[in-house]
Chains A and B, each alone.
Chain A
Amino acid sequence: MLLNVRDLVIDYKTPRGNVRAVDGVSFDVPAGAVVGVVGESGCGKTTAVRGITRVMPGAARFAGGAIEFEGRDIVTMSEREMRKLMWREIAYVPQSAMNALDPVWRVGKQIEEVLRDRGGMGKRDARARAAELFSMVGLDAQRLTDYPHQFSGGMRQRASIALALALSPKLVIADEPVTALDVVIQRQVLDTFAELQAALNLSVILVTHDISVVAYVCDYVVVMYAGRVAEAGPVAEVLANPAHPYTMGLYNAFPELSGDDRELSPIEGSPPDLLDPPAGCRFRPRCPFAQERCAQEPPDVAVGDGHRALCHRADEAAALRDVAKKVDTWTGVSAA
């Protein structure tokens, strides 16, 4: 296993109190696998993966758990060790490619900077490597002298992938790499990404709110809700047999291209305020299957090979799935 995240807890200090944005999150990243972390805005997915890089906003701090990368704990690692790890072993592609690239520097210079400063390369080698990286991600090496604003959204995303791959890391963490792109460009960037992943045997953590992106490129999926892992497992298994009502809801809310002209079933309400989360299951106020016992902490139930769900009713999942397919199931659940 390349990376194990174990019972990770990350808190934000806010003027109104402590917000536990990541609350006991565990998942594994096998070498050469693509793991999707999926959930709505505010579910803690970005905070959790930024914990792996230790580059977190000032108000955030680790409050428990471990992140083991090849057996070494990132949470307790010294700054010096951490500096050796970043870029060379673990690279991060931030949410907006505009944030990854400095607007006042030529794109090629920014890649060379990483190669020379972090990779210890000479000027000439860095320049050659930058050109090589550009062609790997499908960009014309002549565009290395462009500024980021001269690039289209898709090109910027390719450039930030090139930047992440600069020092041949083992693990790439990409936060919403295709979210701002339209469907054609999204597909082309994902195809390039998948080709590189296979060719370089990269391990990837892909953060997204979109289960179709997970279905397209990921081997495993971690579904997060309100700071916790609601469900995790192999993608094919989780999408075919979702065991957590939240995953069922996400799937049913997804618009289809073909099939009947039916109403979609939204999940009513919003995720809970993490300053004051509900007791027991966090999804309870929006869940059509909630029972009295759901006010107690839900168990983490193994429902299949490597497939687990945080739900009191996980053993009834097959029956619940059928009911979840009906639009009426999801109406009038939440008061919000």
Chain B
Amino acid sequence: MTADAPLIEVDSVSRSFDVSRSAADILRGRRPQIHAVTDVDFTLRRGETLGIVGESGCGKTTLGRMLIKLIPPTSGTVRFQGADIGEMDRQAELAFRRRAQLVFQNPFDALNPHFTILRSLQEPLRNARVPAAEHEERIAEALRMVHLAAPEHFLMSFPHQLSGGQLQRVVLARALVLRPDFIVADEPVSMLDVSVRAGILNVLREVRDRLGLAAVYISHDLSLVRYVCARTITMYLGTVVEDGPTRDLIESPLHPYTRALVQAVPVPDVNQSHDPLPIKGGLPDARNPPSGCRFRDRCPLAEARCAAEVPRLREVSPGRRVACHVVA
């Protein structure tokens, strides 16, 4: 395998969920569904970090979970080093589970409260049958990577005895202890105070630069993604609406939804714009998304065509894709 071959290939991945049926649904034989993710594709190489941004309910978490085989897609495939992760035999799946790791959102829930920090860090090594003789070195290496100094002071502690920032570092170390090739981090800093968040973002940058793994960071806040990800995709109601270098997305967003996301990012400046966002209302009911472009009922630019035709994700310049009838 060459260095340039994609590590992760996502090919028209969709996922729908059944929702509870009303009496009328049952009488009419309807099985309402939510299309959480629709036809997403992208590739990711070793050393690349991809940001996925969008509002709650846009499907970014569902997509992240499909990438590491926590839930299967309804259709489409996710390939890891060319192999479909849905078609792996037991042996291959175990290997994949060692090499692809998830960093949980809420560090206060991610660790077993009855386990010492040491045990939480040993657990993945034991499950992966890493010889016990290597544990100490692997754990020390992961803790160095996340800048947790003086581990002897807390390895025998329990999660409630650590601060939020320390816990998030432990959670990250637990994901790194198996030396993965691929990590998915779902809102890794959203639960943390600003002063602590900066430290975790710096660690994520270092992990990116030093370990050369492929990583996906999921967030609703572009200002956080910007610190870690060279490339970002914007999702809206389960579809990718824009894809490109993070800097371009922030400096010259094309899709009207990305524009709204950029304008909504809070900044600590009293002279910031108080102009209303170029977006109306909240997310529509995911069971009955608007026809054509799913964003059209909130879009300031919507035209008749947007109701009739689903906009395809088109390449507008090398490495830059957008799904909009009006701007592309």
Contact = CB atoms under 8 A, between A and B. Distances in A.
- Interface SS majority for chain A: helix
A219 to B, nearest CB: 10
A240 B271 CA distance: 11
B193 A264 contact: no
Interface of B: 55-57, 163-166, 193-199, 201-202, 205, 220-224, 226-227, 250-251, 260-270, 272, 274, 276-277, 279, 282-283
16 contacts: A40-B193, A41-B193, A152-B57, A182-B220, A183-B261, A184-B220, A184-B260, A186-B266, A211-B194, A212-B268, A215-B267, A216-B266, A253-B198, A254-B198, A263-B202, A264-B201
A268 B202 CA distance: 12
A257 B220 contact: no
B223 A256 contact: yes
Given A182-B220, A183-B265, 8 more contacts: A40-B196, A184-B264, A184-B277, A191-B276, A209-B193, A212-B269, A264-B227, A266-B196
Contacts of A216: 266, 272, 274
A211 B261 CA distance: 19
A186 B56 CA distance: 12
A235 B272 CA distance: 13
Instruction: Give the most central of A155, A212, A255: most B CB within 10 Å.
Output: A255
B198 A184 contact: no
A191 B281 CA distance: 13
B282 A152 contact: yes
A188 B55 CA distance: 13
Contacts of B193: 40-41, 209
A257 B199 CA distance: 17
Interface in A246-290: 249-251, 253-258, 261, 263-268, 270
Contact of A209 (B194, B269, B279): B194
A89 interface: no
A194 B274 CA distance: 10
A257 B195 contact: no
B265 A185 contact: no
B266 A213 contact: yes
A154 B279 CA distance: 15
A258 B250 contact: yes
A215 B265 contact: no
A267 B224 contact: no
- Closest 8 CB pairs between A and B? A212-B266, A266-B199, A182-B220, A264-B198, A266-B198, A267-B195, A253-B198, A183-B264
